[in-house]
Structure 1
Amino acid sequence: MNSDQVKGRIEQAKGKMKAIFGKGTGNKKTELAGKIEQIVGSTQALYGDAKEESRKQP
């Protein structure tokens, strides 16, 4: 597992928590920011997955 994968998964988790907090408090801005963080984290994790896959292939 490379650093992009780890950072991406962490960013996803932070975004999910922020989205839940925003939804629970009724703050649409915080909820949207959390969803954006999730997307950014997911993208970074996918990049890390692809990078890891390319290292495995000869």
Structure 2
Amino acid sequence: MPAAQDIAGKAKEAIGKATDNDKLVAEGKADQTTADAKKAGENVKDAFNKD
């Protein structure tokens, strides 16, 4: 679910920033990017399925 992955990514990024953990910040940003790509794919699919 892209929304859950986006929220988890934001949480990871925030925790990484708070704890000065660059790896966690990067993982959080990657999770958010993946969620954004999934959302875009769903939007394209929905656009083609509109009849």
Moved >4 Å (runs of 4+): none
Residue 42 (structure 2) pairs with residue 48 (structure 1): yes
The structure showing larger relative contact order (alpha-carbon pairs under 8 Å, at least 6 residues apart) is: 1
Q: Residues of 1 paired with 2:34 and 2:20: CA distance? A: 23
- Provide the TM-score with structure 1 as the length reference: 0.80
2:29 to 30, 35, 40: 35
Identity fraction in percent: 25
| 2:7 matches 1:13 | yes
Q: How many positions carry a matched residue from both structures?
A: 51
What RMSD in Å do the two structures reach over aligned CA positions?
Answer: 0.9
Q: What stretches of structure 2 of length at least 5 have no aligned partner?
A: none
Whole-angstrom distance in 1 between the partners of 2:8 and 2:30: 11
Gaps of 5+ in 1: 1-6
